[in-house]
A and B are shown apart, each in its own frame.
Chain A
Amino acid sequence: GENVEQHPSTLSVQEGDSAVIKCTYSDSASNYFPWYKQELGKGPQLIIDIRSNVGEKKDQRIAVTLNKTAKHFSLHITETQPEDSAVYFCAATKGGSYIPTFGRGTSLIVHP
């Protein structure tokens, strides 16, 4: 089955800095890659997603890149703010399955 590796497990930055979280996947049949933000005591919230026919997608301060050949994708957050502090999960979904396989999460801490 699909295996998703996510790094780093913890990321500490100063307010205003950029943050990058990287994920790799194993199954070349995966074609949909969502990113979720989970705040303490809440369920995961979808923040951005990308499909395999696209190399990059942006939404304000958030961007995701995908390299199908290398089977890795990354989340970029610019101008970080304290409210960006949360656990971020990447996931990979195999075409036809519609069930995401999640990474283990990255705890992002943004210091004011």
Chain B
Amino acid sequence: DAGVTQSPTHLIKTRGQQVTLRCSPKSGHDTVSWYQQALGQGPQFIFQYYEEEERQRGNFPDRFSGHQFPNYSSELNVNALLLGDSALYLCASSSPSGGSLETQYFGPGTRLLVL
């Protein structure tokens, strides 16, 4: 049973650039959430996708956008990168039909460094 996968594992960008991160949910899951984890902090919720629509959004600017595809995989896009966007970006999946919607399973994350 494949878990949540994310790509790439590491990424280095410069200020002002744009970045796209990718996530494939756990097998059987149809809901994907994205989180930002700064060093020494807990994960902060960015947004959640279900049925290819953004269902909930945290307190993040519009520079952060996303997409969910028909196969439930998802992308996180960040435009006009700032130094403060450097963090570990985590994807989590959950399944309202197969079980608990509250229970989220995390991927290994993408480490983004903005120079």
**Which residues does A use to contact B, with CB under 8 Å?**
4, 6, 32, 34, 36, 41-46, 49, 89, 91, 93, 97-105
Contact = CB atoms under 8 A, between A and B. Distances in A.
Interface string B10-35: 00000000000000000000000100
A46 B100 CA distance: 13
Q: Is the interface of A mostly helix, strand, loop or mixed?
A: strand
A100 B106 contact: no
Contacts of B103: 34, 46, 49
Interface in B58-115: 58, 90, 94, 100-109
Given A43-B90, A105-B41, A100 B102 contact: yes
Interface of B: 4, 6, 33, 40-45, 48, 56, 58, 90, 94, 100-109
A99 B33 contact: yes
A36 B35 CA distance: 14
A43 B106 contact: yes
17 contacts: A6-B42, A32-B100, A34-B104, A36-B106, A43-B107, A43-B109, A44-B43, A44-B90, A46-B105, A49-B103, A93-B102, A98-B48, A98-B56, A99-B56, A102-B42, A102-B44, A103-B42
A89 B106 contact: no
Between B6, B43, B109, the greatest number of chain A beta carbons within 10 A of the residue's beta carbon is seen for B43
A104 B104 contact: no
Contacts of A89: 42-43
Given A44-B90, A98-B94, A105 B104 contact: no
A93 B104 CA distance: 11
Given A42-B108, A43-B90, A43-B108, A98 B43 contact: no
Given A46-B106, A99-B58, A102-B43, 10 more contacts: A32-B100, A34-B103, A43-B107, A43-B109, A98-B102, A99-B48, A100-B102, A100-B104, A103-B42, A104-B42
